[in-house]
Amino acid sequence: MELASYKKKGRLNNKHLLTLRDYSVGEIYEILSCALRLKFLQKKGKKHEYLKGKTLAMIFEKSSTRTRVSFEQGIRQLGGSPMFLSSADIQLGRNETVHDTVQVLNRYDIDGIMMRTFEQSKLDELARYGNMPVINGLSDDFHPCQVLADLMTVYEAYGRFGGVKLSYFGDGGNVANSLMIGGAKVGLDVCVCGPAEYAPKPEIVAEARKFGKVTVTDDLDEAARDCDVLYSDVFFSMGQKPDQKKEKALMPYQVNAGLMAKTNPDSVFMHCLPAHRGEEVTTEVIDGPRSIVFEEAENRLHVQKAVMYLLMK
Ligand code: CP
Ligand code: NVA
């Protein structure tokens, strides 16, 4: 099934967004169709205050520009209010447990929680003890909001998912994991290309393969062949210490003009951002005419508004 033929239901079966593994292709399309509609309303300047009076608590244990600003602005555009909670300021950062934190939030009529954290298990714990929807704003293992925005961006660029090949170059971390799962579900041909020692965990690859076509390779030519979307992420994710061995291993997988020339002539470049020019991507590519990284960043806003609307309404 393609997104164009999907009939909206106006609801999700899931109560939370912890990872895309829990989402069916229909639910992913529900979010994407809603996001396209909300983007249209936003561009037309039409009010869409569907979450009037609702509060989203946003807990950050790691830094953020896009996630923080797009959730904060998104809930406001929907008529609700954001509550920014940096772990540096709340007792969670001084070892109060997730369990106690969420029990307290339960008492204050918080309507939703977005959390950016290290361990995926903390999100699971929030979902277990909280009486509100929980949204993963990035963990060490997954970045589902990013990948929903990425899927929306690929759809806007190509008008379909089937037959589109997306090759991710570099470190097999949180973004690669979510891309494999979300991409395979909607029918993208997903290839993750990098040195074997930094490849995604085999159990996540095996799981993603149950949903669709996923290739993992260290062969740049294989990844570049018939590629429509090149994607990269930083060598060192937040919380990882930079080390020369990893940098040396990942450098050959840099997305540069030479690599782009081996892909389809109308291929596009995507990156979750923030980017390190001269490392995982060159300036000529990320600032070049085939880069759609800022469309992609913009879609974080629209897609997360759809997620909040569908989970919190
Ligand atoms: N891509 C992304 O999640 O960016 P931030 O770290 O700025 O939120
Ligand atoms: N893999 C990166 C993504 C940042 C949005 C990180 O976790 O730091």
User: Is the CB of 175 within 6 Å of ligand 2?
Assistant: yes
Q: How far is CA 121 from CA 20, 110, 130, 306, in A?
A: 15, 21, 14, 25
Q: Which atom of ligand 1 is nearest to the CA of 70?
A: 8
Q: Residue 60 — pLDDT band, cuts 50, 70, 90?
A: very high
Q: Which atom of ligand 2 is nearest to the CA of 62?
A: 8
Report, as an integer, the average pLDDT of 233-246. 97
The whole-number pLDDT of residue 1 equals 83
Choose, from 146, 193, 228, 304, the residue flagged as catalytic: 146
Q: Please say if 76 is a catalytic residue.
A: no
Domains and CATH numbers, the chain: 3-142+300-312 (3.40.50.1370), 145-296 (3.40.50.1370)
| Closest listed ligand to the CA of 172 | 2
User: Is the CB of 273 within 6 Å of ligand 1?
Assistant: yes
3-state secondary structure the chain: CCHHHCCCCCCCCCCCECCHHHCCHHHHHHHHHHHHHHHHHHHCCCCCCCCCCCEEEEEECCCCCHHHHHHHHHHHHCCCEEEEEECCCCHHHHCCCHHHHHHHHHCCCCCEEEEECCCHHHHHHHHHHCCCCEEECCCCCCCHHHHHHHHHHHHHHHCCCCCCEEEEECCCCHHHHHHHHHHHHHCCEEEEECCHHHCCCHHHHHHHHCCCCEEEECCHHHHHCCCCEEEECCCCCCCCCCCHHHHHHHHHHCECHHHHHCCCCCCEEEECCCCCECCCECHHHHCCCCECHHHHHHHHHHHHHHHHHHHHC
Q: Residue 89 — pLDDT band, cuts 50, 70, 90?
A: very high
Q: Please say if 143 is a catalytic residue.
A: yes
Report, as an integer, the average pLDDT of 226-236. 98
8 Å CB contact between 155 and 32? yes
The whole-number pLDDT of residue 25 equals 97
**Nearest Cα residue to atom 7 of ligand 2:** 237
Q: What percent of the chain has pLDDT over 90?
A: 100
Q: Residue 217 — pLDDT band, cuts 50, 70, 90?
A: very high
Q: What are phi and psi of 295, to 5 degrees?
A: -60, -45
Report, as an integer, the average pLDDT of 287-300. 98
Q: Which atom of ligand 2 is nearest to the CA of 240?
A: 8
Q: What is the distance in angstroms between the CA of the first residue and the CA of the last residue of the chain?
A: 27
| Closest listed ligand to the CA of 174 | 2
> What rounded mean pLDDT belongs to the chain?
98
Q: Please say if 277 is a catalytic residue.
A: no
Q: Residue 277 — pLDDT band, cuts 50, 70, 90?
A: very high
What is the number of other CB atoms lying within 10 angstroms of the CB of residue 257? 10
8 Å CB contact between 89 and 62? no
The whole-number pLDDT of residue 85 equals 97
What is the pTM for the complete model shown?
0.98
Report, as an integer, the average pLDDT of 221-237. 98
Q: Please say if 233 is a catalytic residue.
A: yes
The whole-number pLDDT of residue 261 equals 98
